[in-house]
A and B are shown apart, each in its own frame.
Chain A
Amino acid sequence: MSNTNDWPLWEVFIRSKQGLNHKHVGSLHAPDAEMAIKNARDVYTRRMEGISIWVVESVHMHASSPLEGEELYEPANDKIYRHPTFYDIPEEIGHM
């Protein structure tokens, strides 16, 4: 039973300071969420790199496939009317 395989893999997200998003920093193995947070504190925040930690078991992460990237993001490219520069505003108006 003494195999680290028994400990699931967790993805670690750190908020570096108040007001910023949690950002993915890496992963680690731990028996449960509580230990995963404790380990994440030792592994990823030895120099005040964070003030908040999220952990999520890697099996619960779902990701888009890089191969379908083009189809997934392409439609946004030709919808230039979604951007402010698509609209002409006279210079006299100033910043809008």
Chain B
Amino acid sequence: MSEEQLQRDFQSKLDAEIRIEPKDWMPDDYRKTLIRQISQHAHSEIVGMLPEGNWITRAPSLRRKVALIAKVQDEAGHGLYLYSAMETLGEPRSKAIDDLHSGKAKYSSIFNYPTLTWADMGAIGWLVDGAAIQNQVPLCRTSYGPYARAMVRVCKEESFHQRQGYEIMMELAKGTPAQKAMAQDALNRWWWPSLMMFGPPDKDSKHTAQSMAWKIKRHTNDELRQAFVDKTVPQGEFIGLTFPDKDLKWNEEKGHYDFGDINWDEFYNVIKGNGPCNKERIKARRAAKENGAWVRDAAAAYAKKKQNKSTEKAA
């Protein structure tokens, strides 16, 4: 079949909302875009374990502790679903991980902020996972089959993450003045970085147009951000917290909230590696790999020994 014909078939599948599967022909750039997006997404899940892992030993009750452990374990699982989807495109997992550790690959900038108090566990679950859900639900219909299926699994599990976070915020907000202040401080610090999670404004987003045409992305960054603000502001007001944005107010005419300008210089600066925790996060990932090397080696050696024994027996 000619390249042109293959291209036409590919496009007609997209037009008919038929998923693209691993062995189907696809344009090189579609493959590359997916490898970039899925691996970044996987890295974000894996690095995303670190800010919360920081608080597991200091969770204030057993109930909070088991929830946090389960959430962090889910994030490991989500990373693995996504690496698995990425490998169907022919990209080895080890290469993706090397790219993360060398700084070549990116991950969500939000995970480069520190978790200073227990309330940050609430704010992350409520806001960061809330924003992630906003992003991920439409990805359940993304055009590449293995990615869409991985996202279905992720979304099923993600709802508990947001609810446990909101519950933490709610409890702190009705606690002592000091506890309420702690919740407010966490909201103040996480609000703007959460809005940045949707990526640059549509007019500056270099990938959006092509990704929408390929139906990898279903909504633009600004659409998703607006939907998140509309959903989240009433949730914060309900528990008596305020948002650190003097321009935030309901716009009756538009049926949406208006909100203030986002500090995009900060966003690009964190992406470039200059956020508060970029170096610490990558250092922790590298150390995890290096310190676990002997375990992987031992498991491989044991597997080989067992295999040798069974071939001896057979012979």
A interface residue numbers (CB < 8 A to B): 1-7, 9, 25-29, 31-32, 35, 42-44, 46-47, 63, 65-67
Interface SS, B side: helix
A31 touching B77, Cβ below 8 Å:
no
Q: Taking the nearest CB of chain A, how far is it from the CB of B153, in angstroms?
A: 8
Interface SS, A side: mixed
A46 touching B296, Cβ below 8 Å:
no
Contacts of A66 in B (CB 8 A): 21, 23-25
Q: Given contacts A46-B73, A63-B23, A66-B24, is CB(A32)–CB(B306) below 8 Å?
A: yes
B77 touching A6, Cβ below 8 Å:
no
- Which residue of A1, A25, A32, A47 contacts B297 across the interface (Cβ within 8 Å)? A1
Q: Does B81 contact A (CB under 8 A)?
A: yes
A67 touching B300, Cβ below 8 Å:
no
6 A-B residue pairs with CB within 8 Å: A2-B297, A6-B296, A28-B80, A35-B303, A46-B157, A66-B21
Bound-complex Cα distance A79 to B73 (A): 51
Bound-complex Cα distance A35 to B275 (A): 38
With both beta carbons as reference points, the residue of chain A lying nearest to B82 in the complex is identified as: A26
B300 touching A6, Cβ below 8 Å:
yes
Of the listed stretches B86-94, B184-192, B237-245, name the one at the interface; the rest are far from the partner chain: B86-94
Contacts of A7 in B (CB 8 A): 296, 299-300
- Which residue of A4, A25, A26 contacts B94 across the interface (Cβ within 8 Å)? A4
Bound-complex Cα distance A67 to B303 (A): 38
A47 touching B157, Cβ below 8 Å:
yes
B81 touching A2, Cβ below 8 Å:
no
Q: Given contacts A47-B157, A67-B1, is CB(A4)–CB(B296) below 8 Å?
A: yes
Q: Indicate with 1 or 0, residue by residue over B85-124, a CB within 8 angstroms of chain A CB atoms.
A: 1011000111001000000000000000000000000000
Q: Does B235 contact A (CB under 8 A)?
A: no
- Which residue of B74, B84, B300 contacts A28 across the interface (Cβ within 8 Å)? B84
